[in-house]
A and B are shown apart, each in its own frame.
Chain A
């Protein structure tokens, strides 16, 4: 970075005729990398050869069998063969490998070695031959942990991007399904794949996604969250504008609706963009269960979206400003419960809510074996003991636990996180301005949400702006046969899911 001129020349350095010089150059590059193996040998009596590979990334048995063995058995290479002919013979007749390639850039060699390929160089050849005999340790396909569903496929993405791509390809057997490969990160060179259905996804959005990803200037990408932060429309908004999922079926259904998936190597979380709030409140089960039941659950989810955001603040507002609006009997029992509580309702709510947040965070961080006991102790502390000690009132415990449960029903953790944060803002507003404050808060949130965009798609679409035809999949889930069209606020062409007039 300090000496860009030198960097540029290094990037473009080519291989030269002298194999020894090439090896020397590569060895200086790879100095200290103990996993790299330089295996030198003779080919056809006269030529020197070397294979370079990382012994932790390749299958050495395959190399022995299908690279070294044929090379040893090649016999005498006729003198009249030039370097081009030798390369051709090596690639086409000698080495037995499905994926084979060649290149002449020096720095490409190191890259290839680190991504698990084997590099073959022969003296006199200006090109290096890249043979893919990768063997990566990977986790087997397991059930997604963060995206559970009662009914639906049990396979989840893994850390291996090829596996993930295979899970998608398996579901969409069409040449329209595209995988565009990019490398992101100056040091990490993380493989990132943009996937979409050509003809359904909007080309301008594809171009925008590609553009934003190529513009990322960072040393390393460790998780898709890193990419998400770089390509979001409003990075400082509380609301997530890109969905992440561990479920291939979810990703595929989004592809079918004209969205674009971004797969990142080394993480099971794929990104889906553009994304709207409405889609974040849809769970995969919704589409697999019977539609009436699914619609009911979805309505509940919307209802509790409001509850999770406003319930504690409504309690504060009613109990400190608008006691006249509480039914008389309820007021009596609330007053009786609050009789010995020393704190104002706002402070009481804050104590409880923060305790709950702490418990939840502790529950995630603690080892599984301890987690159970923490939740039991927590439940006793914030539930019974606090009430009995007169620190908080029983209605507040009910309110807090209800909002706590409500914030767990969102299919997406990052959406719940935004609601949890806003809840505190609403509580302060309610504690200072009463119902008036709550409405100010809701107005501000609404204004913010309608002004949000995700890759040009309004965040509240299809509610604002209203697209009547797409409402089939918002508050209710219409049966599959009734949803003949793809969501029209995303898909511009090929809107019909099944078009009998032409083939997709």
Chain B
């Protein structure tokens, strides 16, 4: 009998404690609006304009359970915008428009417009680091356009612009640009943040059809945005883009085109760069600061438009020397811009000094690093190898005699 009483007691304790829990925190998947990207802009009247790209899962996956092949009306994403004084304020306003709870755990990309970024971003990004649903793996990108325009594109493979942007950052830049990295860079001494820059551009670069650009825009990686503390300074793009890619080094898809001088027959050779690494080694000699940068690059020739005979090792070493020159041409002006124009140590020369000479850094260097960095002599060394010339050595279609050794 005692055992039965004890059992009943336990049963009561267990079953009644269930009433205490409730299901306050529980939300069914049907009840959440999954935000995949957020765009932050400055509105005309000086407020913040935030847009949320909310996914419509039923339209994303091709095989929708339940019914056979629904008629594909409706978009894969819903774009909602609102103006307000702060992120949470806007969050509340957007929530008022939605029948589902906004859910930020799957936020993949935060796009910031350049107008807003120039005024500093740590204020508006604070919400995304503090809120319990956010996480620091979210990618941060900058655009010269209005940030929200990046969501108004026709996506190619990905049904979500956010996925498209995220994948491109990783493919083209070779590294992620997460909130974590961003805040690490702006808080660490001796290094500044750089963030990938995306713009909308036409899918087809056909100059004749101008309206194509408007109808069918794509999101294109354009370069990187340079920050000083949390403020945007400017962009490294167009001409500097090659240098950025070469210097950053970690990309798998990088390629470089080397022009061959006229006396060697003209044309060009193109290389793929599957692997490269950049190493900064700071030096202090007689109180003079100097930095050696060693860029090790392995190139694989995949296109030879010139008349050079690639079966000859002398030719290969000649191309290697040209390769070095090309790299130098790309990187020299880049470093110049970074040092002189922006004066923002995005590659972390200061951090390298900090690591190697911590006492000296704390005692004097850090107080006037900006000035020191502006005039820091940087020696560029290249370790260039061409490891592979493709399936062909001698180009087809060119007679043996015409080949230049």
B61 interface residue per 8 A CB criterion: yes
Q: A331-B34, A428-B18 are in contact. Are A323 and B27 (CB under 8 A)?
A: yes
Q: A340-B66, A432-B18 are in contact. Are A335 and B25 (CB under 8 A)?
A: no
Per-residue CB contact flags for chain A residues 92-103 toward chain B (1 = under 8 Å, else 0) read: 000000000000
Which residue of the partner chain, among B18, B29, B133, contacts A338 with CB atoms under 8 Å?
Answer: B29
Closest chain A residue, CB of each to CB of B19: A432
Is B58 touching A324 in the complex (CB atoms < 8 A)? Answer: no
Closest chain B residue, CB of each to CB of A345: B28
Is B34 touching A335 in the complex (CB atoms < 8 A)? Answer: yes
Segment at the interface with A among B101-109, B209-217, B270-278: B101-109
* Nearest CB of chain B from residue A441's CB, rounded to whole Å: 11
* Nearest CB of chain B from residue A380's CB, rounded to whole Å: 16
Is A344 touching B65 in the complex (CB atoms < 8 A)? Answer: no
Is B23 touching A332 in the complex (CB atoms < 8 A)? Answer: no
Q: A319 contacts which chain B residues (CB < 8 A)?
A: 28-29
Interface residues on A, range: 20 to 34
How many angstroms from the CA of A331 to the CA of B106 in the assembled complex? 9
B78 interface residue per 8 A CB criterion: no
Q: B30 contacts which chain A residues (CB < 8 A)?
A: 335, 338-339, 341
Closest chain A residue, CB of each to CB of B104: A324
* Nearest CB of chain B from residue A433's CB, rounded to whole Å: 6
Is B26 touching A431 in the complex (CB atoms < 8 A)? Answer: yes
Is B26 touching A339 in the complex (CB atoms < 8 A)? Answer: no
Is B23 touching A336 in the complex (CB atoms < 8 A)? Answer: no
A390 interface residue per 8 A CB criterion: yes
Is B61 touching A333 in the complex (CB atoms < 8 A)? Answer: yes
Which residue of the partner chain, among B25, B103, B106, B135, contacts A321 with CB atoms under 8 Å?
Answer: B25
B55 interface residue per 8 A CB criterion: yes
How many angstroms from the CA of A319 to the CA of B34 in the assembled complex? 13
Q: Which of B287-323 contact A (CB under 8 A)?
A: none
The winner among A324, A333, A336 for most chain B CB atoms within 10 A is: A336
Q: A334 contacts which chain B residues (CB < 8 A)?
A: 29, 57
Is A332 touching B67 in the complex (CB atoms < 8 A)? Answer: no
A280 interface residue per 8 A CB criterion: no
How many angstroms from the CA of A344 to the CA of B27 in the assembled complex? 9
* Nearest CB of chain B from residue A369's CB, rounded to whole Å: 34
Per-residue CB contact flags for chain A residues 314-328 toward chain B (1 = under 8 Å, else 0) read: 000001110110001
Is B29 touching A324 in the complex (CB atoms < 8 A)? Answer: no
A387 interface residue per 8 A CB criterion: yes
Is B103 touching A336 in the complex (CB atoms < 8 A)? Answer: no
Is A323 touching B32 in the complex (CB atoms < 8 A)? Answer: yes
Per-residue CB contact flags for chain A residues 450-471 toward chain B (1 = under 8 Å, else 0) read: 0000000000000000000000
B21 interface residue per 8 A CB criterion: yes
The winner among A323, A324, A331, A335 for most chain B CB atoms within 10 A is: A335
Which residue of the partner chain, among A324, A387, A431, contacts B106 with CB atoms under 8 Å?
Answer: A324
Is A336 touching B58 in the complex (CB atoms < 8 A)? Answer: yes
Q: A338 contacts which chain B residues (CB < 8 A)?
A: 28-30
What are 22 pairs between A and B in contact, CB < 8 Å?
A: A236-B3, A320-B26, A320-B28, A324-B103, A324-B105, A324-B133, A324-B135, A328-B108, A331-B29, A331-B106, A334-B57, A337-B64, A337-B65, A339-B57, A344-B28, A345-B28, A389-B66, A390-B66, A393-B66, A432-B21, A432-B22, A432-B23
Chain B residues with CB under 8 Å of chain A are 3, 7, 18, 21-23, 25-30, 32, 34, 36, 55, 57-58, 60-61, 64-67, 103, 105-106, 108, 133, 135
Known: A323-B34, A345-B29, A431-B26. 6 other contacts (CB 8 A): A331-B29, A335-B55, A336-B57, A388-B66, A432-B21, A432-B23
